[in-house]
């Protein structure tokens, strides 16, 4: 496909999305009944496939990879999906469960759908997301077009500097494991009356989980990892956002990124009311706040800070240009985020299988990780010495890697030599 034809395809899909968004925005009570046929439109499937290719990812339970599809024939692959959707023979396959280690030592289950299921989910998301975007609230920042974590963090900082001193640092207990399918589908049906769309979503929710060769039924919850899971998550918690905006926004402001959220209030009394209300609404969704992880924070100088979206937030004293001191709300990469980064660095530079690579290769590989970390945490202004500690750790791991490659023991002079080499090679410096 030439560039002009590809751009024309994208433009037509965007026009469709814009049309759906405006129709939903104009009429808040409209239920859309003819969307299923748009999912298997050739241009929609092509856009979905391009997104799946760009996101890469490993194979699902059928072992089919992105490269396998390219070898098989992309056009043929998409034509078969179109035929299955058109004839109603498409069946969702169970997701492959993998366990991702968490900072507290536990593991987070992640579901990997097959490549075909990822394409169909992406196509469905392309069509139904604009409808729900028309309903989503300003307080929601996660996994939405033109919204991101930095916007949520900047809004939080503004409020903390405007006298919102009381913060509910909330944690929903086992959120993704406890999403009620029937309640979720009823929320979907408030906007989508096309039964074939609802049936597709139900298939994905109930496809089951392949865990170590054993098929586990999925009667409740939405396993993280599916393309459409973040959208379904936002649809579910938009119920919370809507009721907060309608009934309790006078108490303070809700800032939500997927299932991670805070509530900021001016007074302790307001925050107590807010906490009770949040608990009541979550109970209607068959969810609850984690009693030990949810905490009330007094956002004042000398008080403990809190973590949100990878940052530690705290009030500190800062010196003005004229030498006077002011109190400001600041943030920096949390201890958990820094430790996670150190672990990534260690894992990249530790394996013996990496010894055959050149220093240039390793610098380029690590720079991709360091650059991503720096880009996200660049908005943090405080405690840059903590980032300098990671820079020093990078230097140490490179010395250990280099000495292991040459079967030499660590010597202090090695640090100085490696520092000069890494600087010459253009290693990304986090504290710069």
Give the tens place of pLDDT for each residue, 267-281: 999 999 999 999 999
Answer for the pair 60, 112: CB distance below 8 angstroms, yes or no: yes
Distances (CA, A) of 307 to 82, 121, 313, 343, 368: 45, 33, 6, 19, 25
Asked if 232 contacts 218 with a C-beta cutoff of 8 angstroms, the reply is no
Phi, psi of 207 (to 5 degrees): -70, -20
Would strands 209-211 and 95-101 be described as parallel, antiparallel, or unpaired? parallel
Residue from 355, 314, 354 nearest 333 by CA: 314
- Report, as ranges of residue numbers, the positions in the chain whose pLDDT lies below 70: 1-10, 102-105, 351, 353, 381-382, 407-413
- Spatial neighbors of 190 by CB under 8 A, at least 6 apart, are 31
Q: Is the pTM of this model over 0.85?
A: yes
Q: Read off the DSSP letter of residue 303.
A: S
Is the Cβ–Cβ distance between 66 and 115 less than 8 Å? yes
Sign of CA dihedral 37, 40, 46, 52: positive
Distances from the Cα of 126 to the Cα of 43, 173, 184, 238, angstroms: 11, 30, 19, 19
Residue 124 is predicted with a pLDDT of 99
DSSP string, 313-369: EEEEEEE-TTS-EEEEEEEEE-HHHHHHHHHHHHHHH--GGGTTS-HHHHHHHHHHH
C-alpha angle 126-131-136 in degrees, rounded to nearest 5: 110
C-alpha pair distances (Å), 372 with each of 141, 375, 389: 20, 5, 17
Crossing angle of helices 74-87 and 42-55, in 10° steps, is: 120
**How many CA atoms are closer than 13 Å to the CA of 327, on its beta-carbon side?**
12
Q: Which residue, among 327, 323, 325, has the nearest Cα to 301 in the 3D structure?
A: 327
| Cα 263 to Cα 254: distance, rounded to the nearest angstrom | 5
The token pair that represents 151 in the structure block: 């916007």
pLDDT at 379: 84
Q: Which helix (H) or strand (E) holds 211?
A: strand 209-211
Sheet holding 325-333, edge to edge: 306-308, 311-319, 325-333
At 10 the pLDDT is 64
Q: For residue 216, count other CB atoms closer than 10 A to its CB.
A: 12
What is the rounded CA–CA span in Å between residue 411 and residue 404?
Answer: 12
Q: Confirm if 125 and 231 have CB atoms less than 8 A apart.
A: yes
The pLDDT value recorded for residue 223 is: 81
Give the model's pLDDT for residue 9: 62
Residue 173 has which token pair?
A: 């207990």
Domain boundaries, the chain: 12-234, 334-425
Taking the C-alpha atoms of residue 120 and residue 382, their distance in angstroms, rounded to an integer, is 44
């Amino acid at each position: 496909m030439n560039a002009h034809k590809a751009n024309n395809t994208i433009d037509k899909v965007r026009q469709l999305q814009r049309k759906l968004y405006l129709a939903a925005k104009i009429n808040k009570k409209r239920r859309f009944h003819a969307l299923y046929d748009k999912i298997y439109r050739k241009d929609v499937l092509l856009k979905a496939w391009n997104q799946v290719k760009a996101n890469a990812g490993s194979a699902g339970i059928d072992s089919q990879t992105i490269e396998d599809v390219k070898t098989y024939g992309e056009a043929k692959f998409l034509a078969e999906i179109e035929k299955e959707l058109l004839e109603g023979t498409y069946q969702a396959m169970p997701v492959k469960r993998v366990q991702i280690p968490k900072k507290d030592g536990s593991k987070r289950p992640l579901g990997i759908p097959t490549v075909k299921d990822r394409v169909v989910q992406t196509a469905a998301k392309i069509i139904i997301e604009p409808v729900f975007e028309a309903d989503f609230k300003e307080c929601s920042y996660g996994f939405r077009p033109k919204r991101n974590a930095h916007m949520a963090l900047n809004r939080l900082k503004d409020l903390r500097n405007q006298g919102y001193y009381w913060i509910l640092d909330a944690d929903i207990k086992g959120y993704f494991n406890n999403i009620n399918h029937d309640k979720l589908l009823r929320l979907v049906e408030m906007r989508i009356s096309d039964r074939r769309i609802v049936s597709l979503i139900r298939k994905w929710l109930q496809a089951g989980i392949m865990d170590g060769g054993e098929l586990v039924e999925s009667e409740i919850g939405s396993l993280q990892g599916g393309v459409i899971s973040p959208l379904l998550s936002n649809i579910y918690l938009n119920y919370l956002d809507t009721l907060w905006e309608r009934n309790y926004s006078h108490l303070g402001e809700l800032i939500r990124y997927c299932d991670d959220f805070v509530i900021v209030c001016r007074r302790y009394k307001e925050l107590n009311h807010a906490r009770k209300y949040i608990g009541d609404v979550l109970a209607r969704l068959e969810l609850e706040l984690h009693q030990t992880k949810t905490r009330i924070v007094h956002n004042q100088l000398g008080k403990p800070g809190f973590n949100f979206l990878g940052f530690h937030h705290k009030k500190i004293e800062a010196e003005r240009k004229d030498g006077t001191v002011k109190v400001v709300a600041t943030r920096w990469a949390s201890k958990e985020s820094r430790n996670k980064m150190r672990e990534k660095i260690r894992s990249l530079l530790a394996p013996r299988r990496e010894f055959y690579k050149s220093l240039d290769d390793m610098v380029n590989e690590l720079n991709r990780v360091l650059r991503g970390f720096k880009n996200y945490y660049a908005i943090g202004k405080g405690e840059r010495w903590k980032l300098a500690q990671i820079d020093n750790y990078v230097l140490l791991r490179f010395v250990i890697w280099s000495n292991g490659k040459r079967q030499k023991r660590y010597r202090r002079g090695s640090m100085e030599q490696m520092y000069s080499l890494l600087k010459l090679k253009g290693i990304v410096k986090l504290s710069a």
